A and B are shown apart, each in its own frame.
Chain A
Amino acid sequence: EIVMTQSPATLSVSPGERATLSCRASQSVSSKLAWYHQKPGQAPRLLIYDASTRATGIPARFSGSGSGTEFTLTISSLQSEDFAVYYCQQYNNWPLTFGGGTKVEIK
């Protein structure tokens, strides 16, 4: 099973600032990585797939990069609605696995 490790566990950011989240895979997942965010009491929402492709309706302030074992999600200018928990997920190998999450909170 591929273990996905996200860092940091919590990221404190002021509105309007840039946020950079990391996701590391225990072995290569090529570019088969997705990012989601989840607000309290809601289901996760797909942001990015194939490491860098924005899902339908996702604003351009969200960008993904990386391949192999190291991935980054960047939010260029945090809006109030972006404060949430972010998860990465690999789909290169079964079983599909998720990272433990990064909570982005208001500083």
Chain B
Amino acid sequence: QVQLQESGPGLVKPSETLSLNCTVSGGSISSYWWTWIRQPPGKGLEWIGYIYYSGNTNYNPSLKSRVTMSVDTSKNQFSLNLSSVTAADTAVYYCARKGSGASWFDYWGQGTLVTVSS
């Protein structure tokens, strides 16, 4: 059973960079696309982008200028960096696996709350 676990600081100051990792267990990170999705408190879901195990990426245009994703196959891990954060970036951040067929998401991490505040 594939499991994903997010990790990273729960509090980030405005204008700084939010950095999260997602560790994949129970399966290889290879041959799949991996994604980040966020959910502001009490609101709906926003797709941030995804990354292939080879490093190819596809980002949401609304966040593209601030987002960088990377992958470390040796650690079975992928990462999200979101720069110049504001309070609007406060959200639960989920990592997930893109399904083998198309861009639906079949395995999710439990999510981690990141608050942007000074």
A29 to B106 Cα, complex, angstroms: 20
The SS class assigned to the B binding surface is loop
Interface residues of A in 13-59 (CB under 8 A from B): 32, 34, 36, 42-46, 49-50, 55-56
Count the A residues whose beta carbon is within 8 Å of the partner chain — how many? 23
Chain A residues positioned under 8 Å from B103 (CB to CB): 32, 91, 96
Interface residues of A in 72-107 (CB under 8 A from B): 87, 89, 91, 94-101
B49: min CB distance to chain A, Å: 8
Our pick among B94, B99, B104 for the contact of A43 (Cβ within 8 Å) is: B94
Name the residue in A36, A42, A95, A101 with the highest tally of chain B Cβ atoms < 10 Å from its Cβ: A95
A30: min CB distance to chain B, Å: 10
Tally of contacts, chain A with chain B, CB under 8 A: 55
Name the residue in B103, B106, B111 with the highest tally of chain A Cβ atoms < 10 Å from its Cβ: B103
Q: Is the CB of B45 within 8 A of A95?
A: no
A67: min CB distance to chain B, Å: 15
B88: CB under 8 A from chain A? no
A96 to B105 Cα, complex, angstroms: 11
Chain B residues positioned under 8 Å from A99 (CB to CB): 44
Residues in chain A within 8 A of chain B (CB atoms): 32, 34, 36, 42-46, 49-50, 55-56, 87, 89, 91, 94-101
